[in-house]
Chain A
Amino acid sequence: MTIHIENLSVTFDGFRALKSVSIAVDKGESFGLVGESGSGKSTLLRAIAGLAPVSGGTIEVNGEALSGTRRSRAFRRAVQMVFQDPYASLHPRQTVDRQLLEPLAIHGIGDGERRILKALDEVGLGSSFRFRYPHQLSGGQRQRVAIARALIVEPEILLLDEPTSALDASVQAEVLNLLEEVRSRHGLTYIMVSHDLGVVTHMCSRLAVMRNGEVVEMLSAADLAGSRVVSDYTRRLMVASKGFSREAVPG
């Protein structure tokens, strides 16, 4: 078991963003978190990374019990995160080269030249992108840089927070394909947050549907595809994701 979370609670100033959530993700698995805004899906991801005030429960990653927001150096290398908005998650005044060099410097990894070229190549950006600034890149290219930055330290687990929702549909397809490709090549474990059921069922084998800080349903992508869902809320999400129809609208 790579990631094991039990009865996890997160509280912000008295507001309980996560209420006793338990999930378990196997090594090499791709696990999805679905829900609407405020459901706690991003908070769960951030709690794993040590970016949220945990108020109860346990998180175990690779057999290592994590407490509070402290994380070991090994953890910080093994677990990497990709955020939603590549316009916000890259430093606007650093070249791609600098952004990729940073994690290497932090972890004291040498051989930067070769690794940077390899990482760029891996995400389908040639070496010609190496000395560009983020504003010289399109949204899809920026997200590729963000993925390269995550991959360059050879992680085991990627936490993906809506990695394609700021992108155009055609670019989304390219980035999803890239994410699948690198996962199978490196045997990575993914936890992917998305509000788009189509994207999650495409990428993940199992998923948790969240609402108001709780997991309302845990199911496999195949169950979802076959409409074998238990909770009303999941059903409503499924209807909504099919687009507008006069019958589907209540009232």
Chain B
Amino acid sequence: MKPLLTVNKLSVTYPTRTGVIEAVRGISFELGRERLGIVGESGSGKSQTGRAIMGLTPPPGIVRADALSFSGVDLLKAGPATWRDMRGSRMAMILQDPKFSLNPVMTIGRQITETLRHHENVSKREARRRALEMLEAVQITDPERVFDLYPYEVSGGMGQRAMIAMMLVCGPELLIADEPTSALDVTVQLEVLGILDRLVRDNGMGLIFISHDLRLVSSFCDRVLVMYAGRIVEELATADLSKATHPYTRGLLDCTPKIGESRHPLPVLERQKEWAA
């Protein structure tokens, strides 16, 4: 089967006054219709990877790759029109905090129907019907009411559901979720992940789940890439998480305190220079 997304030797660099910053340094992976987790700490390049795939690297960032293709489309050669067509309809992205990623002066309903009307030739009434259906699919109990609310009128969990609804309303083939639940309370986090899980499974999407939380990712994804300093240091099936061999992955697993464990002091991660080499 042809992979949905092929990334070959992707690098993202930012020229600065003090030299070139290499945020992502030649990473390669393929994604089928599966859930792939990308895990790393701040500065590891995980978000930059997601952004580069969506064509959202902010200037003056430079994206280079031997190959970057998404179901037959060469993303390196894509022009603005191709990107506009693809984003929102065939590939979509969910960001961390709905407070910042939703348009504050537009009702939730209008934001969802806007996506639909931009990409598909549908009537206003049809768009409204499908938006309401989508709000129901993300387990919003009173979609009619939420449709007319502004983002500031809803809670974080509700906002993130609306965000998911907006991103999935056109039925994308690839969804990139960048820390989709980190701004939410733990119990809400679980509900949102449950919704995401069901929708990804039912629609057969490919999912890239970017997070700093190795354990959360591994409980949600099929496969995990662990990134450090712009490189992939280890790739693992989540079932084999306990068999991780790279000292960085092991360190990440060990250093978080868990309920019912008494380890004083906690093991700390000794960073080795050669990991970044």
Say whether A244 contacts B42, CB under 8 Å.
no
Q: Looking across the interface, which residue of chain A has its beta carbon closest to that of B264?
A: A180
Question: For the side of the interface on B, what is the size category?
Answer: 35 or more
CA of A139 to CA of B212 in the docked complex: distance in angstroms?
Answer: 15
- With A177-B266, A198-B259, A201-B259 known as contacts, the answer to whether A170 contacts B252 (CB < 8 A) is yes
User: Which of A174, A177, A225, A243 has a CB less than 8 Å from the CB of B216?
Assistant: A243
Q: Looking across the interface, which residue of chain A has its beta carbon closest to that of B156?
A: A37
Say whether A202 contacts B212, CB under 8 Å.
no
CA of A169 to CA of B254 in the docked complex: distance in angstroms?
Answer: 10
User: Which of B187, B197, B219 has a CB less than 8 Å from the CB of A237?
Assistant: B187
Q: Looking across the interface, which residue of chain A has its beta carbon closest to that of B257?
A: A202
Of B58-66, B81-89, B169-177, B188-196, the one with at least 4 CB within 8 A of chain A: B188-196
CA of A248 to CA of B216 in the docked complex: distance in angstroms?
Answer: 13
Residues from chain B with Cβ under 8 Å of A203 in the complex: 257
User: Which of A139, A172, A237 has a CB less than 8 Å from the CB of B256?
Assistant: A172
Residues from chain B with Cβ under 8 Å of A224 in the complex: 259-260
Say whether B139 contacts A251, CB under 8 Å.
yes
How far is the CB of A194 from the nearest CB of chain B, in Å? Answer: 10
- With A240-B187, A251-B139 known as contacts, the answer to whether A201 contacts B216 (CB < 8 A) is no
Say whether B259 contacts A170, CB under 8 Å.
no
Among A237, A249, A250, residue most surrounded by chain B Cβ atoms (within 10 Å): A249
Residues from chain A with Cβ under 8 Å of B197 in the complex: 244, 246, 249
Residue A195 interfacial (CB < 8 Å) = yes
Q: Mark B90-125 against chain A: 1 for CB-CB distance below 8 A, else 0.
A: 000000000000000000000000000000000000
Q: Mark B222-262 against chain A: 1 for CB-CB distance below 8 A, else 0.
A: 00000000000000000000000000000110011111110
Q: Mark A112-143 against chain B: 1 for CB-CB distance below 8 A, else 0.
A: 00000000000000000000000000010000
CA of A37 to CA of B265 in the docked complex: distance in angstroms?
Answer: 29
Say whether B269 contacts A173, CB under 8 Å.
yes
User: Which of B186, B256, B260 has a CB less than 8 Å from the CB of A173?
Assistant: B256
Residues from chain A with Cβ under 8 Å of B267 in the complex: 173
Residues from chain A with Cβ under 8 Å of B251 in the complex: 170
CA of A224 to CA of B256 in the docked complex: distance in angstroms?
Answer: 17
- With A37-B185, A181-B265 known as contacts, the answer to whether A245 contacts B219 (CB < 8 A) is yes
Say whether B187 contacts A244, CB under 8 Å.
no
Say whether A249 contacts B190, CB under 8 Å.
yes
Residue A241 interfacial (CB < 8 Å) = yes
Say whether B220 contacts A244, CB under 8 Å.
yes
CA of A170 to CA of B267 in the docked complex: distance in angstroms?
Answer: 9
User: Which of B194, B220, B257 has a CB less than 8 Å from the CB of A199?
Assistant: B257
User: Which of A168, A180, A241, A250 has a CB less than 8 Å from the CB of B186?
Assistant: A241
Say whether A170 contacts B215, CB under 8 Å.
no
Within 8 A of A (CB), among B18-74: 41-42
User: Which of B214, B215, B255 has a CB less than 8 Å from the CB of A172?
Assistant: B255
How far is the CB of B59 from the nearest CB of chain A, in Å? Answer: 23
Among A172, A225, A240, residue most surrounded by chain B Cβ atoms (within 10 Å): A240
How far is the CB of A68 from the nearest CB of chain B, in Å? Answer: 31
Q: Looking across the interface, which residue of chain B has its beta carbon closest to that of A246?
A: B197
- With A168-B41, A248-B190 known as contacts, the answer to whether A226 contacts B260 (CB < 8 A) is yes
Say whether B268 contacts A173, CB under 8 Å.
yes
CA of A169 to CA of B41 in the docked complex: distance in angstroms?
Answer: 8
How far is the CB of A41 from the nearest CB of chain B, in Å? Answer: 12
User: Which of B139, B257, B269 has a CB less than 8 Å from the CB of A198?
Assistant: B257
Residue A26 interfacial (CB < 8 Å) = no
Say whether B187 contacts A170, CB under 8 Å.
no
CA of A248 to CA of B192 in the docked complex: distance in angstroms?
Answer: 12
CA of A207 to CA of B70 in the docked complex: distance in angstroms?
Answer: 50
User: Which of B42, B191, B260 has a CB less than 8 Å from the CB of A139?
Assistant: B42
Q: Mark A225-251 against chain B: 1 for CB-CB distance below 8 A, else 0.
A: 110000000001111111111101111
Q: Looking across the interface, which residue of chain B has its beta carbon closest to that of A240?
A: B186
Interface, chain A (partner B; CB < 8 A): 36-37, 139, 168-174, 176-177, 180-181, 195, 197-199, 201-203, 224-226, 236-246, 248-251
Name 16 interchain pairs, CB-CB below 8 A, sorted by A: A36-B186, A170-B255, A172-B255, A172-B256, A181-B265, A202-B257, A202-B263, A203-B257, A225-B260, A236-B187, A240-B187, A244-B194, A246-B197, A249-B197, A251-B139, A251-B194
